[in-house]
Amino acid sequence: MANTWWELQILCEPDLEDSIFWRLETFGCRGTASERKDNNCLVKSYLPQFQAHILDLAALSLWLRQDALCIQLPVPVMQWQLIDEQDWATGWKQYWKPQEIGDRFLINPAWLPIPDSNRLIIRMDPGVAFGTGEHATTQLCLESLEMRLGGGSTSFFGKNQEIEDVVIADIGCGSGILSIGALLLGAKQVYAVDTDPLAVKSTVENCSLNSIAPQRLIVTEGSLDVLTKLVPQVDGIVCNILAEVIIDLVPEMSAIALPTTWAIFSGILLEQSNAVAETLEKHGWVVATLWRRKEWCCLNVRRS
Per the structure, the complete domain to which residue 71 belongs is given by 4-94
Please state whether 176 falls in left (phi above 0), alpha (psi between -120 and 50) or beta.
Answer: left
The number of distinct structural domains making up the chain is 2
170 and 73 within one domain: no
248 and 103 within one domain: yes
Q: Which of the listed residues 94, 125, 143 is the one where a domain comes to its end?
A: 94
d(CA 195, CA 93): 25
- ∠ CA 112-116-119 to the nearest 5 degrees? 100
CATH of the domain at 79: 3.30.70.260
224 and 133 within one domain: yes
CATH of the domain at 155: 3.40.50.150
259 and 173 within one domain: yes
136 and 67 within one domain: no
What is the predicted pLDDT for the residue at 288? 95
What amino acid occupies position 165? D
Phi, psi of 45 (to 5 degrees): -145, 160
pLDDT digits (tens, 9 = 90+) for 155-178: 443 345 677 789 999 999 988 999
pLDDT digits (tens, 9 = 90+) for 134-147: 778 889 999 999 99
Mean pLDDT of 276-282: 96
190 and 57 within one domain: no
d(CA 131, CA 127): 10
59 and 114 within one domain: no
83 and 68 within one domain: yes
pLDDT band at residue 89 using 50, 70 and 90 as cut-offs: low
What is the predicted pLDDT for the residue at 295? 80
- Please provide the average confidence, as pLDDT, over all residues in the chain: 87
What is the predicted pLDDT for the residue at 49? 87
Q: Which of the listed residues 68, 94, 120 is the one where a domain comes to its end?
A: 94
First to last CA, the chain: 44
236 and 123 within one domain: yes
20 and 148 within one domain: no
Q: Which of the listed residues 94, 119, 144 is the one where a domain comes to its end?
A: 94
187 and 49 within one domain: no
